[in-house]
């Protein structure tokens, strides 16, 4: 749920990066953090274990610029991907405006992707959302690795809706900003629809 503040002329939206463990959600945020000008970003917070696995969430606030005199801010969150952190994942989805599903393209993670996407749907439904109605994009990450499934195969199982999909390599940053832009754009268009614009 976006927050429109007429007093400070700001609009805040929440984007959640979802996906199976070790698919690169945190790496996506780290790349965005590294490549964003200091004045446009806040501190990146990572609540992680000693082995750098996400424990609760990562958080990165971004200020993109102004639309019609309103400062546009996006709050980026990741969920912990490991299966047993499901209770935490549900909490982070509260009030979400748009979702990025980061899939791990490696063949051996095929089932993990499907399981995580199903889990996303279930957790959204519990909060009263439908994935089909939310701004939503998919990122096929780790395209640089040798043992990856083809995009056609991934699309067939993970993207029956035909939402925008992006090939990425989050460690080098390829596809990271394209993914973010696509979901941000959908969120703003959704706001426009909500405001009665066409």
Q: Contact residues for another protein (CB under 8 A)? A: 1-8, 11-12, 14, 42-43, 45, 47, 56-57, 59, 61, 64-65, 67-70, 72, 75, 87-88, 90-92, 94-95, 127-129, 177, 181, 184-185, 188-192, 194-197
**CB 82 → another protein: shortest distance, Å?**
16
d(CA 117, CA 102): 10
**In the complex, minimum distance from the CB of residue 60 to another protein, in angstroms, rounded to a whole number:** 10
Owner of token pair 């952190």: 85
Tokens of 106: 């490696």
The tokens of 190 are what? 């959704």
User: How many Å apart are CA 151 and CA 96, to the nearest integer?
Assistant: 27
Task: Return all residues near 109 (Cβ < 8 A) that are at least 6 apart.
Answer: 20, 23, 103
Q: Rounded CA gap, 120 and 114, in Å?
A: 10
Q: What is d(CA 17, CA 32) in angstroms, rounded to the nearest whole number?
A: 13
Q: Report the residue number, 91 or 145, with the smaller CB distance to another protein.
A: 91
Least distance CB 41 / another protein (angstroms): 10
Q: Is 121 or 192 the residue whose CB approaches another protein more closely?
A: 192
Q: Least distance in Å: CB of 89 to another protein?
A: 11
**DSSP H/E element including 15:** strand 10-18
User: At closest approach, how far in Å is the CB of 4 from another protein?
Assistant: 5
Query: Which residue lies nearer to another protein by CB, 38 or 128?
Result: 128
Q: Residue 41 has which token pair?
A: 């970003």
| C-beta of 107 vs 125, nearer to another protein | 125
Of 12 and 155, which has the nearer Cβ to another protein? Answer: 12
């Amino acid at each position: 749920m976006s927050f429109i503040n007429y007093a400070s002329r700001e609009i805040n939206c929440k984007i959640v990066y979802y996906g199976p463990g070790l698919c690169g959600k945190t790496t996506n945020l780290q790349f965005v953090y590294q490549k964003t000008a200091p004045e446009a970003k806040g501190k990146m917070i990572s609540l992680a274990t000693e082995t750098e696995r996400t424990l609760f969430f990562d958080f990165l606030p971004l200020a993109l610029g102004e639309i019609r005199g309103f400062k546009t801010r996006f709050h980026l969150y990741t969920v912990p991907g490991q299966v047993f952190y499901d209770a935490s994942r549900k909490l982070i989805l509260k009030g979400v405006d748009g979702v990025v599903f980061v899939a791990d393209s490696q063949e051996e993670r095929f089932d993990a992707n499907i399981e995580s996407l199903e889990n996303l749907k279930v957790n959204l439904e519990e909060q009263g959302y439908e994935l089909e109605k939310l701004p939503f994009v998919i990122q096929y990450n780790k395209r640089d690795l040798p043992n990856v499934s083809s995009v056609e195969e991934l699309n067939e199982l993970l993207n029956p809706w035909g939402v925008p999909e992006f090939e990425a390599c989050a460690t080098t940053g390829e596809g990271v900003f394209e993914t973010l832009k696509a979901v941000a754009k959908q969120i703003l268009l959704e706001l426009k629809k909500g405001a009665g614009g066409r």
